Amino acid sequence: MFEQAAIAVQDEQDFGKLHALIDAAFDARDVDVLLDRVSRAGISVRNFEEILKRGYLGPEAIALYAALPVSDQGLTRERYLRLVEKVPLELRQRYFKAYAYY
């Protein structure tokens, strides 16, 4: 059975701050706001770098992400994408254009 190797976090402080911002954006009370902004911009919700660049995860998220080592950036993208897929089905259907694969 395949088991993915665990990757250790190198910069725990900035990693934790960035993940707190991402978790806050996907909080049940705020995820609708994030999806609305992404949908209005016409970008895919899975395009992490574009969402980050536009400041949708908070203005300080850009600097935090840039300061992380590459391995921590990869872990951050994986966490973001897992949260994207955990959004409730009703919201995913409401923001179909943001979730669609074109």
Q: Is residue 86 part of a domain?
A: yes
The answer to whether residue 5 sits within a structural domain is no
Domain assignment present for residue 41? The answer is yes
Work out the number of other CB atoms within 10 angstroms of the CB of residue 9. 17
| pLDDT tier for residue 2 given thresholds of 50, 70 and 90 | low
In a domain, 69, yes or no: yes
pLDDT tens per residue across span 91-101:
999 999 999 87
| Residue at 61 is within a domain | yes
The domain tally of the chain equals 1
3-state helix, strand, coil in the chain (%, to 5): 65, 0, 35
Residue recorded with tokens 């973001």:
80
Query: What pLDDT, in 10s, does the model give residues 12-60?
Result: 899 999 999 999 999 999 999 999 999 999 999 999 999 999 999 999 9
Domain hosting residue 79, numbered range: 12-99
How far is Cα 56 from Cα 48, in angstroms, rounded to an integer? Answer: 10
Calculated CA dihedral for residues 43, 23, 11, 64, nearest 10 degrees: 50
- In a domain, residue 38? The reply is yes
Mean pLDDT value of segment 85-92: 94
pTM of the shown model: 0.88
Query: Residue 9: what pLDDT?
Result: 83
Q: What is the dihedral of CA 60, 26, 87, 28, to 10 degrees?
A: -160
Q: What is residue 11's predicted lDDT score, i.e. its pLDDT?
A: 83
**Dmax over Cα atoms in the chain, in whole Å?**
43
